[in-house]
Amino acid sequence: MATLIGRKRTSLTEKPTGWKAMVGVRGTDVVVLGVEKKSVAKLQEERTVRKICLLDDHVVMAFAGLTADARILINRAQIECQSHKLTVEDPVTLEYITRYIAGLKQKYTQSNGRRPFGISCLLAGFDYDGVPHLYQTEPSGIYYEWKANATGRSAKTVREFLEKYYSSEAVSTEKGTVKLAIRALLEVVQSGRKNLEIAVMRRGEPMQMLDADKIEEYVTEIEKEKEEEAEKKKQKK
């Protein structure tokens, strides 16, 4: 089943390839979301282009697709987070808010005159009991939980990379988790380090966006490791 979204023809089940790459990794104590930032035009103000946003103090969402559609969903989700807290006195669980967003997306696939939301979301955060979660939703309205996932451009490549390198030891530390996420993104990001946006969610703490220097540190470390690996391979030969 195909629908027209703007000028792009997309299938509800097929992930659109024109969208920016996005990756999420769930560690033991942190959950990391990374997106490829669109390169900002010279005269454009950078801060208005935000692809990672807070739904609540403990839930963060990254999306790939039509930013305008995302705005609507984010607004509804933020209201739902507060409404939930008001009625049941507890912050939303990741599963609840994912189900809510997915349910909203599904509604638009089954009513007349409306088109589906053209975005794929990755929701990350910690439940009240301290367990980390990473969920993905699609325009069709389905949602899955993942240990690590990628959507958007070249999602398949990134996911294969994650399947190869993800292990519980690798993500047992915060550093390991962030490094894995950045490495995965670097596989496909065209313009390299300058265009990464990384958000780190720690248990009981507000979301932290890594600033450019921190990302730079990680990238240099990753490149060094890659070189060492390449050296070892050469020596083996």
Give the residues lining the site for other proteins (CB under 8 A): 54-56, 75, 78-79, 81-83, 85-86
Give the angle 98-82-24 at the CA atoms, nearest 5°.
35
- Least separation in angstroms between residue 35's CB and other proteins is 17
Residue 223, CA distances (Å) to 26, 120, 141, 150 in order: 22, 30, 38, 21
User: Of 89 and 213, which CB lies nearer to other proteins in the complex structure?
Assistant: 89
Measured CA to CA, the distance from residue 182 to residue 185 in angstroms comes to 5
User: Of 55 and 200, which CB lies nearer to other proteins in the complex structure?
Assistant: 55
- Least separation in angstroms between residue 36's CB and other proteins is 22
Residue with tokens 């049941």: 88
User: Of 155 and 207, which CB lies nearer to other proteins in the complex structure?
Assistant: 207
Tokens of 98: 């994912």
- Least separation in angstroms between residue 78's CB and other proteins is 5
Residues in the chain: 237
Measured CA to CA, the distance from residue 121 to residue 144 in angstroms comes to 11
- Least separation in angstroms between residue 83's CB and other proteins is 7
User: Of 4 and 86, which CB lies nearer to other proteins in the complex structure?
Assistant: 86
